[in-house]
Amino acid sequence: MAISAQADSGTVLDRILQARRLEVDHRKRVLPETALRYGVNAATPLRDFTSALTRDSLNIIAELKPASPSKGILRDPFHPVELAQSLESAGAAVLSVLTEGEFFRGSLKNLRDARKAVKLPAFRKDFIFDSWQVWETRANDADSFLLIVAALSDELLRDLIALGRQLKMEPLVEVHTAAELDRALAAEARIIGVNNRDLKTLDLRVETSFELIERIPDSCIAVSESGLRTHDDLVRLRNAGFDAFLIGESLMLSPDPAAALATFLGRPGLPV
């Protein structure tokens, strides 16, 4: 099944951002930031996202993703609570939950429901470009969130990182190129995600991670994202210097996501 708005002009990232800006503008009128700040005060206590990524193991961020622009519908029916519980049992370090609705079929409800069902930290995967969204993220109980360098100016990137830290959430700052990595480091990002999928073209190159890891300081947490297919992929990337690995489509397309996760961890056949 095709994801909507694919025929529009511009890159995939441009189309997604255009749609998100319209939605966020509407939601800001309905729910002012002042109300979100009250919601943050009532949010559940934070879980330690940073520590979960730096354990001495293959730390997998297991992604709950109903659909994607490149593959269409990935999982239908989609049951976030059951998926979250089974992936936690199989050894996930963190849950990543898509909350963008039009292109990925995600929702904030999926985030809240999945996090409530497990003890793992929950990471909000979305297209965030406004401080209002950061407040919204914490008000919905997330423990961290994504910032995509390609979608942000240098000033906005710095401001959103700072707001995340004010709210005790260290964001994962995603890059696709050496130039974007330089910008993330200049903004003093502490968790760097290397996305092997170029969001402007949807081209996929796992080599991107190997090309950029030498440029990521040891003081930063390094995460490889997208296109990871086997346990050996994770071992090679960990030996290269990565601390954690974000895996979504391979899990969501599997008849048994928990068994697939156990195989990634090198424990095939593990009872879950």
- What are the residue numbers of the active site? 63, 65, 125, 174, 195, 225-226
Question: Ramachandran region of residue 202, left (φ > 0), alpha (ψ -120 to 50) or beta?
Answer: left
Eight-class DSSP state of 174: E
69, 6 contact by CB (below 8 A): yes
167 three-class SS: coil
CA angle 184, 189, 191 (to 5 degrees): 110
180, 149 contact by CB (below 8 A): yes
Q: Of 51, 26, 27, which Cα lies nearest the Cα of 39? A: 27
Q: How far apart are CA 81 and CA 67, in angstroms?
A: 17
Q: How far apart are CA 248 and CA 234, in angstroms?
A: 14
Q: What letters, b where the CB count within 10 A reaches 16 and e where it falls short, cover 56-68? A: eebbbbbbbbbbb
> Which stretches does DSSP call E strand in the chain?
59-64, 67-68, 72-73, 94-98, 122-125, 144-148, 172-175, 191-195, 221-225, 244-247
189 three-class SS: coil
Q: How far apart are CA 266 and CA 260, in angstroms?
A: 10
